[in-house]
Every structure is written in C-alpha cells, then in structure tokens.
C-alpha cells in the first residue's frame, strides 16, 4: 500500500515535505477482515485543522471511496463499494470499523447507494458527507422559509454551492460569497444565485447594503472570521446562523474575537454549530433527497478532480488556496 504519513507539523500553509509518502507491506487478511482498494480520495478543509491534533507519524486523515478486493467478512463481500475514513492510503485491511477518533468518535463505514447510475465519486461529495452537511446543516439549523434572504460563504465550494441551491429550491433569495469572478459567474449564471460577491475585490459590507437592503434572515457560515462578523451585522430580527466551518481559522492561529455580541442580542439571533455525523441515523434521507434533486435537474454539482494518488497532498494545498470549484477529489 502507498500511504501518506504526517511527518512535520504544519506551520502556516502546509508545504511539500510536511507529509511523507511511504510503501507499507500488507499482511494476509484474517477471519472477519477485508482488503479495500481506494478509487477516490477526498481532500477537505477540516484536515488542516485536524492536523493540529493528529499525532506525528499517523496516516493522514480522510475519507475515500474504495472497492473490496478480498474478503473474509460476509458483511463486506468482494466487489462492494464503500465510503470509509481510512485516511490517505491506497489499500486498507479492515474489520469493518474505522476509528477516526476525533472529534466524533467512531465513524462507521457508509455503504454507497446501489444505483448503478450513480458515479461512485459522488459518495465523497454531493451524495456523501458534504452533501449531507448542506442538507441537514442548512435545513435543520437555518429553517429557511420562502422569500427569506440567505447568505452562504465559500459559496462555490462543495458545501456552499449545494446550500445555495437548496435555498433556491426552498424559494429563498440567495447571496453567494466567493473568492474569484469565475466562481461568482458560475454561481450566478449556472446555479441561479440571485447575487454574488467576490470578497477579494468587493467590499462585503457596502455590497450587502446595496443588494440586500431587506437584511439577511439565514447565514450559512463556512469561513468564520471577519467576513462572518460583517454578514452577522446585516441580519434581521430572529435570524438564524448555521456555523458549519471556519476555514479562515484552520491554521490554528488565535483569531481576534469578532464583535458579534451586539447584533446577536439586539436582533435576537440564533447561532448553532454542528458536526454532520450528528445526523448519522438519518444519513440515507439526505442522500436520497439530494439524488432526487439531481435527477430533477434542481441540484447541479462540480467535481474538481486531481489525477494520481501521489498528487493528493498537492490537491489539498490547492483546495486551501481556493483553486477548486465544487468538490475537490483525487482519482487514485
């Protein structure tokens, strides 16, 4: 097996040399075990944050789509596809549990929908963890109503682009915030967002005043930091904030606490953070609904594919630099 091992603690943006690519010998499988071969590896923003607590020398964390190639476990027969948190490795021997120990405890191996029509890679994106993050994290915590105004950050990413489209399905006015004109054009022209803001070239505060004089009812927060403080200042009475991610703070550096208390009090806002696995018992509900919306043409997705397992770390750095549109994955 080829395995990426965490070798040097990240200091600033992760760089070449922080991970080591090694070869690991595989033992014969025992009773109750199976061998899985990775087809697609996921690179996700949270990995930068997890790296602060991941012990040096560990396999780097992450989900993959794998196919079972040998098995002595009847629950995992040869040919079955799974989404599993095995980390960045090409081959894994498992007994059917994974122990992504932080912060949620054991994350079970999730079977993929059997539908032959579904490309397997979607199990890492729109029909997997990010898709359910958008589905549950937005609908459950923001409780959007038709006619309300919704703002989403990292809007051209896997989760953000999905949230914005669910908000459109629910009849909301959707404002997406993203880091390039190309991303903004995609959101506006192909995903029908009502407004877009390029946070690198436009003043968010001023632009929101112009495009959303009615105020903001729901904010789906993927980035945290100053951008979020500015948006929260534009919220309406009884607004809802779903705190999904904090990518601006994943470098582990202490951030100045944004002054959000005043709008939280005066507008009586509700702000709630979540980890998507809290909805594990309803997992298939999200997958089925998202697949339904795709088939109806209401939900579009993009995959940002890097080829070759050895390029996984490069793909991760590109993601952190905002080069991806849609879900960043690696085709092994």
Contact stretch for ligand NDP (CB under 6 A) within 7-15, 69-77, 127-135, 165-173: 127-135
Max alpha carbon distance in the chain (Å)? 65
Q: Which of 90, 222, 290, 306 binds ligand NDP (CB under 6 A)?
A: 222
| Distance separating alpha carbons of residues 260 and 271, to the nearest angstrom | 11
Q: Which of 14, 239, 245, 286 binds ligand NDP (CB under 6 A)?
A: 245
| Distance separating alpha carbons of residues 321 and 313, to the nearest angstrom | 13
Residues 305-324 contacting ligand NDP, CB under 6 A = 319, 322, 324
* DSSP assignment of 130-159: HHHHHHHHHHHHH---TT-EEEEESTTBHH
| Distance separating alpha carbons of residues 246 and 102, to the nearest angstrom | 17
Nearer to ligand NDP, 46 or 81 (CB): 46
Taking the mean position of all CA atoms in its chain, how far away is CA 321? Answer: 15
Residue 13 binds ligand NDP, judged by CB under 6 A: no
The answer to whether 303 touches 329, Cβ cutoff 8 Å, is yes
| Distance separating alpha carbons of residues 7 and 19, to the nearest angstrom | 5
Per-residue tokens: 40 = 């697609």
Number of residues that bind ligand NDP (CB under 6 A): 29
171: left (phi over 0), alpha (psi -120 to 50) or beta: left
Residue 248 binds ligand NDP, judged by CB under 6 A: yes
Q: Which of 244, 269, 315, 332 binds ligand NDP (CB under 6 A)?
A: 244
| Distance separating alpha carbons of residues 303 and 326, to the nearest angstrom | 5
Query: Taking the complex as a whole, how short is the minimal distance between the CB of residue 54 and ligand NDP, in angstroms?
Result: 15
| Distance separating alpha carbons of residues 220 and 141, to the nearest angstrom | 9
Query: Taking the complex as a whole, how short is the minimal distance between the CB of residue 151 and ligand NDP, in angstroms?
Result: 13
| Distance separating alpha carbons of residues 6 and 20, to the nearest angstrom | 7
Contact stretch for ligand NDP (CB under 6 A) within 41-49, 76-84, 94-102, 230-238: 41-49
Nearer to ligand NDP, 180 or 311 (CB): 180
Residue 286 binds ligand NDP, judged by CB under 6 A: no
Residue 44 binds ligand NDP, judged by CB under 6 A: yes
Q: Which of 107, 112, 247, 299 binds ligand NDP (CB under 6 A)?
A: 247
Contact stretch for ligand NDP (CB under 6 A) within 18-26, 126-134, 140-148, 256-264: 126-134
Residue 131 binds ligand NDP, judged by CB under 6 A: no
| Distance separating alpha carbons of residues 229 and 8, to the nearest angstrom | 33
Contact stretch for ligand NDP (CB under 6 A) within 26-34, 207-215, 272-280, 283-291: 272-280
H/E stretch holding 32: none
Nearer to ligand NDP, 34 or 304 (CB): 304
H/E stretch holding 190: none
Nearer to ligand NDP, 73 or 207 (CB): 207
| Distance separating alpha carbons of residues 164 and 176, to the nearest angstrom | 7
Residues 133-192 contacting ligand NDP, CB under 6 A = 133, 154, 156-160, 178-180, 183
Residue 43, preceding peptide bond in cis (omega within 30° of 0): no
Nearer to ligand NDP, 68 or 178 (CB): 178
Query: Taking the complex as a whole, how short is the minimal distance between the CB of residue 58 and ligand NDP, in angstroms?
Result: 19
Residues of this chain that bind ligand NDP (CB under 6 A):
44-46, 129-130, 133, 154, 156-160, 178-180, 183, 222-223, 244-245, 247-248, 274-276, 319, 322, 324, 328
């Amino acid at each position: 097996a080829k395995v990426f091992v965490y070798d040097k603690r990240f200091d600033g943006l992760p760089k070449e040399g922080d991970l080591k690519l090694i070869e690991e010998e595989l033992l014969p499988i025992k009773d109750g075990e199976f061998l899985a071969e990775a087809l697609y590896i996921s690179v996700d923003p949270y990995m930068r944050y997890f790296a602060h607590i991941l012990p040096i020398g560990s396999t780097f964390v992450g989900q993959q789509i794998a196919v079972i190639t040998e098995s002595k476990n009847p629950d995992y027969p040869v040919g079955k596809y799974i989404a599993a948190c095995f980390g960045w490795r090409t081959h894994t021997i498992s007994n059917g549990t994974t122990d992504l120990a932080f912060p949620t405890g054991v994350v079970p191996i999730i079977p993929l929908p059997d539908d032959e029509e579904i490309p397997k890679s979607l199990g890492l994106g729109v029909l997997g963890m990010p898709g359910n993050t958008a589905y549950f994290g937005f609908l459950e915590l923001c409780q959007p109503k038709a006619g309300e105004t919704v703002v989403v950050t990292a809007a051209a990413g896997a989760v953000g682009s999905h949230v914005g489209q669910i908000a459109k399905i629910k009849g909301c006015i959707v404002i997406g915030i993203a880091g390039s004109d190309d991303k903004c054009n995609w959101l506006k022209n192909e995903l029908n967002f009502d407004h877009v803001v390029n946070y690198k070239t436009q003043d968010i505060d001023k632009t929101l005043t112009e495009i959303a004089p009615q105020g903001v009812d729901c904010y789906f927060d993927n980035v945290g930091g100053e951008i979020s403080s500015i948006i929260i200042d534009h919220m309406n009475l009884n607004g809802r904030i779903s705190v999904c991610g904090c990518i601006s703070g994943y470098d582990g550096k202490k951030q100045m606490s944004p002054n959000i208390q005043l709008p939280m009090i005066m507008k009586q806002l509700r702000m709630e953070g979540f980890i998507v696995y809290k909805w594990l018992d309803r997992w298939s509900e999200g997958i089925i609904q998202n697949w339904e919306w795709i088939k109806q043409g209401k939900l579009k997705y993009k995959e940002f594919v890097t080829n070759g397992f050895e390029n996984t770390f490069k793909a991760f750095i590109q993601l952190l630099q905002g080069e991806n549109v849609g879900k960043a994955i690696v085709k092994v």
